[in-house]
Amino acid sequence: AVSRTLILVKPDGVRRGLSGEVLRRIEAKGYELVAVELKNADDALLAAHYAEHEGKPFYAPLVDFMKSGPVLAIVAQGQNVIPGFRSLAGTTDPTTAAPGTIRGDLGRDWGLKVQQNLVHGSDSDESAAREIALWFPTL
């Protein structure tokens, strides 16, 4: 069935001018854009979005990083879009993410406490439903 996923261009990606490049790769793959909005995330939104990471050593730096500038929030749609976008994004660590992926082509280690890895993509149907409701409550 056609599904939807929540994609974020994180503040590092927006700052580096890569929002268009990420949108281009989503569209070039053949997924449909359902919603796109530049947002300044607050603590409540990020606490809900990253609830599963609360208590981990990178949690506070992660929330600070995600508040360091605007985030481009995207809902994309298509057959198998959830694993499909995660494949486009590449693995979490940009140093070793495969070339050809967003993180592998465009990301690197900047020596910071949090991995600045350009994008987020929902990891399951349940996460996608939860995250879309958080970032786009009117959808």
104-123 positions binding ligand CMP, by CB under 6 A: 114-115, 117, 120
Type of residue found at 137: P
Two structure tokens written together for 116: 């600045």
Q: Is 92 near ligand CMP (CB under 6 A)?
A: yes
Type of residue found at 109: D
Nearer to ligand CMP, 41 or 62 (CB): 62
Q: Is 6 near ligand CMP (CB under 6 A)?
A: no
Nearer to ligand CMP, 1 or 102 (CB): 102
Nearest to 77 by CA among 1, 15, 13: 1
Residue 80 assigned as binding residue: no
Residue 86 assigned as binding residue: yes
100: which DSSP letter?
T
**Pairwise CA distance, residues 30 & 27, whole Å:** 5
Residue 92 assigned as binding residue: yes
Q: Which of 41, 62, 74, 81 binds ligand CMP (CB under 6 A)?
A: 62
Instruction: Please indicate whether residue 120 is annotated as part of the active site.
Output: yes
Q: Is 66 near ligand CMP (CB under 6 A)?
A: no
* CA 7 to chain CA centroid, nearest Å: 4
Type of residue found at 56: K
Catalytic residue, from 62, 120, 128, 132: name it. Answer: 120
- What is Dmax (Cα atoms) for the chain? 41
* Interacting residues toward ligand CMP by CB under 6 A: 53, 58, 62, 92, 114-115, 117, 120
